[in-house]
Amino acid sequence: MTTYDFVLANGKIMDGCGNPWYWGDLGIQDGRISEIAPAGSLQGRQKVDAAGRFITPGFIDIHTHSDLSILVNRRAESAVRQGVTTQLIGNCGMSPAPVSEIHLAEMKRQWGPISDQPEVRWEWQTFSQYLQILESQGLGINIASLAGHGALRIASMGLEEGKASPAALRQMKSLLEEALRAGAFGLSTGLVYPPGCYASTDEIIALCREVAKYHGLYASHIRGERETILEAVAEAIRIGSEAGIPVQISHNAPKFGAPCDASANLQLVEEARAKGKDVTVDNDLHTDLAPALTDGLPQEIQDLPADQIRTLLRNPTRRAEIRDEIVGDRKPAFGPVGLLKHGQWQRITMLHAPKSPQVVGKTISTIAQERGSDPFDVYFDLIAENGHDAEAIFDYIDEVNIRLLLKHPAVIICSDGQVLAPYGFLNDPPPYSPCSYGEFPGALERYVRDEPVLTLQEAIRKMTSFPAQRLGLRERGMLREGAWADIVVFDLERIHDRATNLYPHSYPFENYPHQYPEGIDYVLVNGVMVVEEGEHSGALPGKVLRHHFSKQQ
């Protein structure tokens, strides 16, 4: 009888494909699953008794923003402690590569303070150089990446507004081709953010035709997730269909201000699929987001240095124009701006305001009453007082929509978070990012165990084989012989998310600062234990994954 490197014994094996569990042992050798056999039958040099807990494939998070934070925290702590073994980065149009020397400053401005961290040395220009730096010193999880349209545009034309010239478009195409050859899984856009919001549909189609040559994916933060959500979904579908590539619509819950619930956008996806168009969706399970207040300003000014923004806001004429622009929303802004546009000030709760600490924990409505001011002016004043450091929790999604998406078979569960850790730069000040710490355990706790919105096998499918299929990761996302041993062992009875707050928020905020979840007992990445009895082992066995067709044209 073979003695394996490692055996996970006596578990409820759930293969990730949507099938119910069965009792079994997994034998792991050289990073892969060598044998799956009846419980109690395998021998290993090292053996862990799963003792009736679930053994599933490691979770694959198809929508994250860990591009720079993974350099700061290579152990990928907030992700792997949830059971995540692979993340896709480069979403919403933003990847840190490619980058050109002359536009490095604009690129760094887009990423904010993390871009000046000592671990982020900007030693790369091309996509392939960035991937090499990622893999040079080990990773706690596997990383796959998209090329961000925003990065391509900044590299070729900076943050210029308006149409790309033919020369700029040619340059974007050639940078994209380099990224695809290096292993990018496709192209992402962020059509509400600068500079994506300045791009025409034709510009994106032209770039997606390059992606088609490499059989990649088009992933989009669409052009508005509120009033314009249906047009924006239709635009994404059209881009994929004209370029002949699959479409992944990112975090597609309608946000406050949308004219419909999620069944309307899902219906467009179903109609497209019925016509043979390969369109799928992802979504995370949180109803709130805590951006900087400056992120709600019009795209042209939101990233300016704080003193320049302050000058604009102190000029009454400019302040009135900016207010009109926010309310007019002609170039649809990102989701939370719906609360500004529709005056939902009671749904915006201050989280950080270093220069006006007395407002923390209060809603903008309450602050407006206290100050005897108009709430819109309070919003501007808090920015003038605190610059980019003012952050608030925006409650901008109705949980009904989270459930509708969760139940739909074409929707993948993702986090839309990033690798974080409760110490050092990534916790200074503690960010409000429950999805980064609690997404996957929270889904299992709230929507499988406590309330049966999904069966366990369906939830696991949406976290494993489905995202793997979407990315063409043929040897991950399923428990079967020969696959890479990316594995989670968890106890459904004990699983507990210690990061998520439920609406309405009260101060001090529940589960903040965030903590790692409970009940995720073992996590293996490429056959190596990264989480052992609930603690990080320090191992860095993660790989940089390159798209299957990256070498081919």
What is the binding site for Zn ion (CB under 5 A)? Answer: 92, 221
In this structure, are strands 348-352 and 391-395 parallel, antiparallel, or unpaired?
Answer: antiparallel
Angle 119-121-126 (CA atoms, 0-180°, nearest 5)? Answer: 125
> Cβ-count burial of 158 within 10 angstroms (0-12 exposed, 13-18 middle, 19+ buried)?
middle
Which is closer to Zn ion, CB of 221 or CB of 388? 221
Which is closer to Zn ion, CB of 229 or CB of 378? 229
Which is closer to Zn ion, CB of 74 or CB of 470? 470
Residue with tokens 């239709």: 234
Supply the minimum distance, in Å, between the C-beta of residue 292 and Zn ion. 15
Supply the minimum distance, in Å, between the C-beta of residue 163 and Zn ion. 23
- The answer to whether 157 touches 98, Cβ cutoff 8 Å, is no
Identify the CA nearest to 404 among candidates 445, 447, 442: 447
Which is closer to Zn ion, CB of 92 or CB of 463? 92
Find the DSSP H helices in 22-126.
69-72, 77-80, 104-111
Supply the minimum distance, in Å, between the C-beta of residue 145 and Zn ion. 15
Residue with tokens 């490429």: 526
- The answer to whether 114 touches 523, Cβ cutoff 8 Å, is no
Which is closer to Zn ion, CB of 148 or CB of 441? 148
Supply the minimum distance, in Å, between the C-beta of residue 276 and Zn ion. 27
Supply the minimum distance, in Å, between the C-beta of residue 395 and Zn ion. 18
**Half-sphere exposure (CA, 13 Å, Cβ side) for 553?**
3
Give the residues across from 22 on adjacent strands. Answer: 13
Which is closer to Zn ion, CB of 92 or CB of 411? 92
How many C-beta neighbours within 10 Å does residue 227 have?
18
Which is closer to Zn ion, CB of 92 or CB of 184? 92
First to last CA, the chain: 45
Supply the minimum distance, in Å, between the C-beta of residue 92 and Zn ion. 3
DSSP 114: G
Which is closer to Zn ion, CB of 401 or CB of 457? 401
Supply the minimum distance, in Å, between the C-beta of residue 346 and Zn ion. 25
Which is closer to Zn ion, CB of 221 or CB of 446? 221
Residues with Cβ within 8 Å of 551's Cβ and at least 6 positions away in sequence, in order, are 181
The identity of residue 29, as a single letter, is: Q
Supply the minimum distance, in Å, between the C-beta of residue 250 and Zn ion. 5
CA distance 322 to 304: 14
Q: What b/e readout covers 447-473, taking b as 16+ CB neighbours within 10 angstroms?
A: bbbeeeebebbbbbbbbbbbbbbbbbb
Find the DSSP H helices in 355-429.
364-371, 375-386, 399-407
Q: What b/e readout covers 333-350, taking b as 16+ CB neighbours within 10 angstroms?
A: bbbbbbbbbeebbebbbb
- The answer to whether 43 touches 21, Cβ cutoff 8 Å, is no
Supply the minimum distance, in Å, between the C-beta of residue 467 and Zn ion. 16
Supply the minimum distance, in Å, between the C-beta of residue 438 and Zn ion. 19
Supply the minimum distance, in Å, between the C-beta of residue 256 and Zn ion. 16
How many C-beta neighbours within 10 Å does residue 402 have?
21
Which is closer to Zn ion, CB of 81 or CB of 221? 221
Which is closer to Zn ion, CB of 92 or CB of 479? 92
- The answer to whether 147 touches 167, Cβ cutoff 8 Å, is no
How many C-beta neighbours within 10 Å does residue 123 have?
10
Which is closer to Zn ion, CB of 75 or CB of 221? 221
Which is closer to Zn ion, CB of 171 or CB of 189? 189
Residue 399, both tokens: 């949980």
In this structure, are strands 22-29 and 3-13 parallel, antiparallel, or unpaired?
Answer: antiparallel
**Half-sphere exposure (CA, 13 Å, Cβ side) for 290?**
28
Supply the minimum distance, in Å, between the C-beta of residue 219 and Zn ion. 10
- The answer to whether 183 touches 544, Cβ cutoff 8 Å, is yes
Supply the minimum distance, in Å, between the C-beta of residue 231 and Zn ion. 17
